[in-house]
Structure 1
């Protein structure tokens, strides 16, 4: 009988500890971590881009795995295609950055990717949903969809995006964006 009482007391103590831990920590951040926060924060401030958007794109593109190369050849944390990365490095005047840097160094990948997001944001007049779609499908395709009225650039009509991969991509980025902004009070 005493043995069972001891087990109950231990169980209550353990449950109390778990409840205290649950309410005193941001436990959801365990499921939605943001890696490379300093790099993301620095580049987001530099290029005036929402850091949660950068983090969400990294999460969907590479899940924060450095050195990743996609089947199509996209490189780095932000998974830029080599042609896009070369164009961005030239336009952003970053001659010291190479494709190898983008693939293996988080700072370079985040800088080029964030610069590209800034450029897309300017092109699509701050329409975050169109920017996300353009990051995946390319700005030419998204611009064409908008001009032809195929898609109106809103999240509510994301089902009208003609490419399934891009439709799903936008939904995933927005999902992580909403999770990050809900979990983290500030970046």
Structure 2
């Protein structure tokens, strides 16, 4: 009787495991997206791909709010205070303060997404240049592209002269690809 149970339980367990593996829903546990409503709302407001926003947040803070980096970047999307102040002024978003940007994910996502819209406008929808500019600043990216250091393509991402930015862009691309595979829609 005991051997019969083992012969039945093990294949059943493997069958359930295989069903979970091939069902793409389990991958959402490996690649969760936090703050979906906030991301969805700001994505629509500023016409930015929600998977790009989620990928940046994943790389920056892994969806953990109230973060402050060693260089002073604030909140879930790790906005530098000068960039945040500039975005608040340019975007006419006076209700956002640095304190709110640091501690309130919805405010941080709104300012971060506004900034992504601004970068997208600057770089003509070159998503890789936008990613690099989010990390290294638009002036650096414009300089690299103007001087021919980096052409803004995935094939030549290794030419990004700042290692942190090169790695950042590769990580954002990785999570973007995973999210678009795991989630059919946002």
Q: So what's the TM-score if we normalise by structure 2?
A: 0.96
In structure 2, the residue matched to 1:145 is 144
More moved, 25-34 vs 129-138: 25-34
Cα distance per residue 1:59-85 (max 9 Å; x no partner): 000110111110000001100000100
Distance in 2 separating the partners of 1:150 and 1:135: 18
In structure 1, the residue matched to 2:71 is 72
In structure 2, the residue matched to 1:126 is 125
Distance in 2 separating the partners of 1:59 and 1:6: 44
Answering whether residue 160 of structure 2 is matched by residue 165 of structure 1, we say no
Cα distance per residue 1:10-64 (max 9 Å; x no partner): 2223223323333445111111111111100100010000100000000000110
Q: Which runs of 4+ in 1 moved over 4 A?
A: none
In structure 1, the residue matched to 2:5 is 6
Cα distance per residue 1:91-150 (max 9 Å; x no partner): 111111111111111100100000000000000111100000000000011111111111
- For the aligned residue pairs, the C-alpha RMSD in angstroms reads 1.1
In structure 2, the residue matched to 1:47 is 46
Report how many aligned residue pairs link the two structures.
186
Structure 2, unmatched stretches of 5+, are: none
Structure 1, unmatched stretches of 5+, are: none
Q: So what's the TM-score if we normalise by structure 1?
A: 0.96
In structure 2, the residue matched to 1:102 is 101
> What SS is found at the alignment partner of 1:73?
coil
Answering whether residue 24 of structure 2 is matched by residue 30 of structure 1, we say no
Distance in 2 separating the partners of 1:20 and 1:32: 19
> What SS is found at the alignment partner of 1:26?
helix
